[in-house]
């Protein structure tokens, strides 16, 4: 069974986790099942054993988005520039796009910027650190004052004050808006 092949703290949690994944081809393959054809599985239920036959279809469950995860648009007539982040990925593309964004904001003397993070699931916290290099702040705090329990261990993470390493002549000192999802 899955439970015998992995470690877990609470059996109930592991059972629910595996219940949702047992119908996936990769998990059945991990258990040694031949998934090249229809696969018969026996499930333990409160009412007893139930036999099911699973048929797998090849589906792309993660379609590739053709739009970049970071982009921007300048609305000169509204004196506003919008930076859109679909994901928080810290890489060369993000750093270059951010530099281009603030270069254009400075060149066009834009006084308002909005950061659109609607439906952004999060990611690398270095994204905000890089963004703040272009903002006129001396210091900022990163993730902290949080207690996280790992089984019998309690990890306490204290807030850390960071001195801002500003991005030179591209530092923005206008109004900033953040666009977020409602739920």
- State whether 88 and 170 are in the same domain: yes
Contact 55, 46 (CB under 8 A): no
Name which of 172, 179, 26 is nearest 111 in CA terms: 172
Assign residue 175 the CATH number of its domain. Answer: 3.90.226.10
- State whether 32 and 104 are in the same domain: no
Q: What CA–CA distance (Å, rounded) separates 26 from 33? A: 10
pLDDT mean over 47-73: 79
Per-residue model confidence as pLDDT tens digits over 32-42: 777 778 877 78
CA distances from 145 to 60, 158, 159 (A): 40, 4, 5
Domain that holds residue 118: 70-179
| pTM, 2 dp | 0.60
Per-residue model confidence as pLDDT tens digits over 97-156: 999 999 999 999 999 999 999 989 889 989 999 999 999 999 988 777 778 888 888 888
- State whether 154 and 130 are in the same domain: yes
In a domain, 62, yes or no: no
- State whether 119 and 158 are in the same domain: yes
Per-residue model confidence as pLDDT tens digits over 2-26: 667 666 677 777 777 666 666 677 7
- State whether 44 and 85 are in the same domain: no
Name which of 170, 160, 159 is nearest 95 in CA terms: 170
- State whether 149 and 91 are in the same domain: yes
In a domain, 60, yes or no: no
Q: Which is it for the CA torsion 102, 164, 122, 93, positive or negative? A: positive
In a domain, 59, yes or no: no
Q: Indicate whether 91 pLDDT > 90.
A: yes
Q: Last residue of a domain, which of 54, 79, 96?
A: 54
Based on the structure, what is the number of domains in the chain? 2
Residue 79, helix vs strand vs coil: coil
List of residues 6+ apart from 150 with CB closer than 8 A: none
């Amino acid at each position: 069974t899955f439970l015998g092949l992995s470690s877990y703290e609470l059996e109930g949690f592991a059972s629910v986790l595996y219940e949702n994944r047992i119908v996936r081809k990769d998990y059945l393959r991990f258990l040694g099942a031949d998934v090249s054809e229809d696969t018969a599985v026996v499930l333990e239920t409160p009412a007893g054993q139930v036999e099911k036959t699973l048929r797998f279809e090849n589906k792309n469950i993660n379609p590739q988005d053709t739009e970049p995860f970071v982009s921007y648009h300048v609305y000169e007539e509204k004196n506003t520039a919008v930076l859109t982040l679909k994901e928080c990925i810290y890489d060369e593309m993000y750093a270059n796009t951010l530099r281009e964004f603030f270069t254009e904001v400075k060149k066009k003397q834009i006084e308002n910027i909005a950061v659109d993070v609607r439906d952004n699931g999060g990611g690398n916290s270095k994204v905000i650190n890089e963004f703040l290099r272009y903002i006129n702040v001396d210091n900022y705090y990163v993730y902290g004052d949080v207690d996280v329990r790992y089984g019998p261990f309690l990890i306490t993470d204290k807030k850390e004050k960071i001195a801002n390493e500003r991005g030179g002549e591209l530092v923005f000192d206008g109004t900033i808006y953040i666009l977020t999802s409602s739920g």
